Chains A and B, each alone.
Chain A
Amino acid sequence: MRLTILNGSPRGKKSNSAVLLSHFTRGFLESPGNSMETLHLINERPGFEKPKDAFFSAERILLAFPLYVDAMPGSVKEFIEKLEPYKGKRPDLRLMYLVQNGFPETCHNRPVQRYLEKLTRRRGCAYGGSIVKGGCEGLDVQPSFLVEKVFDLFYQIGISYGRTGLLDNDLLARLARPEHLSPENIAQVIPMVNVFLWDSLMDKNGAKDRSFDRPYL
C-alpha cells in the first residue's frame, strides 16, 4: 500500500500534526510493502503543484491539519480550492483525514469532519474516514502518561490501517475520548491548561504581565 500524506499544519515539519502523523506512520510502515511520502502544504503555497499532482497519481491520501477557528487553516483552504477543476476525475482515490484541535475535548472537530466527508463526495473520491482528536496543543507540557497513550493509539491505528487499508472504528472512538467534558472536568482541566500551557509560554517570553493587553483600544 502506498500512502501520500499532506500535512496541512501551518507549522509544517515542526507541528503537533507532524508528531501525531509520525506515530501513525510508524505503525503503517510495519506492514511489509507499505510505503509513504509526506508533503507539507505550507511549503507548497501558492501553486500547490506537488500536492495537486498527488491528486492525480496517489492511491491513498491522508490530509492532516489542526483546527483553526473551527475549520481548516486558511492555507489549507487555499489548497482545497485548487482542487476544484479535478472534480470527479479520481473516483478510485481514497481520501482520509486527521483533524486535531487544541481544546481539551474532541467535539470541536465534528462540524469540520462533516464538511470533509461532504467535500470528499463532492470531489467524487472515496471517503476513507477521519481520525479526530482534541487536546493536542502543548503535547510537551501534558503529563507524559497521557501523551504516551495518545501516541500509542495513533500507532495502533497506523498498524491496523497498514494491514487492512481501513481505519479501525473502535480505535478511532478510543482516541476521540474525551468527546465532551463534564462540568467537573471543565473545572479541573481548564485551570491546568491555562497555567501549564499558556502561563508558562507567556513567562518564557516575559509577557505574562501584558497578557490581557488591548492594543487596538
Chain B
Amino acid sequence: MDILILNGSPSGSRLNGQIAELKSLLEKTAHAVRELTLRDMKYSPCRGCFGCWVKTPGRCIFRDDGDILCSQAIHSDMVILASPLRMGYPSALTKNALDRMIPLIHPYLEGIDNEAHHMKRYDRYPLLGLLLEKEADTDQDDMDIVHEIFRRAAINLRSAMQFVAYTDKPIEEVCNAINHS
C-alpha cells in the first residue's frame, strides 16, 4: 500500500520518534510510506469561502501547501493522521490540514445510510487511520467522542475509518492493524 502519514505533532514530542518507528516498520512490510510534517508546512486555515467547490472546482483558491496535502492524500491508499490529543481532540495543526482537504470532495449532497453526505469528486479515496497520543486525563469517554467524530468525518471525506491506535500501545500493533486491513 501507498501510505501517507500526516505528522501533526509539535517538534520535540515523543510522538515524532514513534512515527519514525511506524514508518520503518511499515517499510519493512513492503509498504511505500511518505510523511508530511505539518508543522513545517505553510497552509492557512480554511476560510469557508467555498471557492474550491464553486469557483475553481477541486482546488482551493489559496496558493499554499494545501495543494500538497490534497495531491498527496488523493494519491495514497491510506492516510494516517498522527497527532497528540489536545483538549480532547487532535491538534489544530492536524484539523487545519483536514479542513483543507475538502477540495477533494464535491459540494453536491447525496443520501448515504439515510443521511446527507457529500458526493465523490474522485473515483477512489484513501482509507483513514488515526495514531493518537493521549493526554494525562484522557478517558474512555474522550476516546469514544474522537472515534465517533472521525468515523463520521471519514464518511464525508468518502474514506472509511480503518483503525484508531494510541501510542501507549506498542507501535507493532499499529503496523499489524494496517497489514490486516
Answer yes or no: do A and B interact. Answer: yes
Chain A interface (Cβ < 8 Å from any Cβ of B): 9-11, 15, 42, 45, 66, 68-75, 77-78, 80-81, 83-84, 103-105, 107-108, 111-112, 114-115, 118-119, 122, 180-183, 186-187, 189-190, 193-194, 198, 201-202, 204-205, 207, 210-217
B145→A114 contact, CB < 8 A = yes
Q: How many inter-chain contacts with C-beta < 8 Å in the A-B complex?
A: 164
Contact (Cβ within 8 A) A77 B92: yes
Number of interface residues of B (CB under 8 A): 55
Contact across chains for B111 and A193 when beta carbons are under 8 A apart: no
7 contacts between A and B (CB under 8 A): A80-B89, A103-B115, A111-B145, A193-B109, A214-B121, A216-B75, A217-B74
Determine if B48 and A186 form an interchain contact, defined as CB atoms under 8 angstroms apart: no
Q: Which of B86, B97, B145 has the most CB of A within 10 A?
A: B145
A210 to B57, CA, bound (A): 6
CA distance A180 to B115 in the complex (A): 7
A190 to B109, Cβ gap below 8 A? yes
The CA of A112 and the CA of B95, in the complex, are separated in Å by 14
Report chain A residues within 8 Å CB of B145: 111, 114-115, 118
Cα distance A50–B48 in the bound complex, in angstroms = 23
Check B56 against A105 for contact (C-beta < 8 Å): no
Which of B96, B137, B148 makes the CB contact (< 8 A) with A74?
A: B96
B108 to A122, Cβ gap below 8 A? no
Chain A residues lying within 8 Å of B115, measured Cβ to Cβ, are: 103, 105, 107-108, 180-181
Q: Across the interface, do A69 and B50 meet the contact criterion of CB distance under 8 Å?
A: no
Q: Does B158 sit within 8 A of A, measured CB to CB? A: no
Q: Which of B's residues lie within 8 Å of A, judged by CB?
A: 45-50, 53-59, 70-71, 74-75, 86-89, 91-92, 95-99, 101-104, 106-111, 114-117, 121-122, 137, 141-142, 145, 148-150, 152-153, 156-157
B156 and A70 contact, CB distance less than 8 A = yes
Q: Which residues of A contact B109 (CB under 8 A)?
A: 103-104, 190, 193-194
A122 in complex: contacting residue of B56, B88, B101, B111, CB < 8 Å: B88
Contacts of A108 in B (CB 8 A): 115, 152
User: Assuming the A-B contacts A111-B148, A212-B106, are A201 and B114 also in contact, with contact meaning beta carbons closer than 8 angstroms in the complex?
Assistant: no
For A217, give its contact among B95, B122, B153 (CB under 8 Å).
B122
B121 touches A212 (CB 8 A): yes
Please, how many angstroms separate the alpha-carbon atoms of A202 and B74 in the complex? 23
Contact present for A207 and B108 (CB under 8 Å): no
A68-B48 in contact (CB<8A): yes
A216 with B106: CB separation less than 8 A:
no
CB nearest to B141 among chain A residues: A118
Q: Is the CB of A69 within 8 A of B157?
A: yes
Residues on B with C-beta less than 8 A from A70 are: 149-150, 152-153, 156
Residues B91 and A207 in contact, CB atoms below 8 Å apart: no
Please determine whether A69 and B54 come into contact, CB atoms closer than 8 angstroms.
no
| B49 proximity list for chain A (CB < 8 A) | 11
Select B116's contact among A69, A78, A104, A202, beta carbons within 8 Å: A104
Across the interface, do A183 and B86 meet the contact criterion of CB distance under 8 Å? Answer: no
A68-B46, A73-B45, A74-B95 known; A205 and B54 CB under 8 Å? yes
